[in-house]
Amino acid sequence: MRHGAKSVTNFELLPEPPQTRASSNPWPTYARIKRTDYGHQEVMAYTQKDPREYCISTKRFVIEDGVLKGLDTVQVEWENVGGQWKMEEVKGSEKFYPADLVLLALGFLGPEKALIEQLGVKQDARTNIATPQGQFATNVPGVFAAGDCRRGQS
């Protein structure tokens, strides 16, 4: 919003977390509860709407003549089957989100090796995306790294 965005939408593949701890999430395990950080608060102050969309999966980036137009998405449902969580797409829930810029924040599993190799992005000794100290530009012009893929999981 500070850079003039008309809107901001934050996709989350997982369901919306509860406001309080579930009985299956006891202390001292990390509390899986809904948290709102300052970025969400800023968007809500500007738009009067929570920017987060839960249970949504991006199916493809829509690009025309080399220009990003938006994202094709689908809603998903989660079901616990024998102790394993299974995700299913909701038929008929496809939706197009127009977009001029998409930032990927995937976290925790490390950078996607195939994408890094395809882009020719250099990695450091810990397999994070290499950038100069205190900067975000990679060795590939126009490709930037931030968050876990740059500094490692936190």
Residue 5 and residue 84: Cα distance in Å, rounded? Answer: 39
Q: What are 42-99's pLDDT values in tens digits?
A: 999 999 999 999 999 999 999 999 999 999 999 999 998 887 889 999 999 999 999 9
* 3-state per-residue secondary structure call for 78-102: EEEECCEEEEEECCCCCEEEECCCC
What are the residues whose beta carbons fall under 8 Å from the beta carbon of 43, sequence distance 6 or more?
1, 8, 49, 50, 51
Fold that domain 1-102 belongs to in CATH:
FAD/NAD(P)-binding domain (3.50.50)
Nearest residue to 90 (alpha-carbon basis) of 59, 69, 51, 52: 59
Query: What are the boundaries of each domain within the chain?
Result: 1-102, 104-154
